[in-house]
Amino acid sequence: MTREHIDYIISLCPSLFGTKESFSIGCNDGWVGLLTNTIQKISQKLSEYPECVRNTFLISSIETVDGRLTIHSSEYIKEIEDIILDAETESETICEICGNVGSMREHFLSYVACEEHTEVSNVIEEQETTSL
């Protein structure tokens, strides 16, 4: 994911992401829209909890695992986990490269791509893990 997109995602709710040492993103730019919606939903839901809960909940990483978006957090809160699970499921229908409608592809790895980005090399070249 590009630095610009990472900075944008973090700017939506900086308190969700902790420090540079405790957070990383390892997915492609095509999921920026999905991540934007997800972070906004998480932030909204957390605002309904007491400050002691809000202060301990962090997203530790966002990555691609077996072709799906995977979001790891520091605390289990059922309503937040439901939001995360919905996003992870939705990621299976969104091209990792461009954000258009896609489907799961299987070559020597699993990934989600539209018809234009079916080549696995597109996914590998675009994806890099970035720590803050």
pLDDT category of residue 87 using cuts at 50, 70 and 90: very high
d(C-alpha 87, C-alpha 39), whole Å = 10
d(C-alpha 64, C-alpha 72), whole Å = 11
Statement: the pTM of the whole predicted model exceeds 0.85:
yes
2-37 pLDDT, tens digit per residue, is 889 999 999 999 999 977 667 888 899 999 999 999
32-46 pLDDT, tens digit per residue, is 999 999 999 999 999
Question: Looking at the predicted structure, is the pLDDT value of residue 131 above 60?
Answer: no
Question: Looking at the predicted structure, is the pLDDT value of residue 77 above 60?
Answer: yes
- What stretches of 1-132 adopt beta strand conformation (E)? 24-26, 59-65, 68-73, 103-106, 110-113, 130-131
CA neighbor of 129 nearest in space, from 40, 16, 39, 23? 23
Residue written as token pair 């490269």: 97
pLDDT category of residue 122 using cuts at 50, 70 and 90: low
Pinpoint the alpha helices (H) of 18-97: 32-46, 51-54, 78-90
Which SS3 state, helix, strand or coil, does residue 3 take? Answer: helix
User: Which two three-digit tokens encode residue 99?
Assistant: 């954000």
Give me the pLDDT at residue 49, please: 94
Which SS3 state, helix, strand or coil, does residue 71 take? Answer: strand
Strands of the sheet containing 24-26, edge to edge, are 68-73, 59-65, 24-26, 130-131
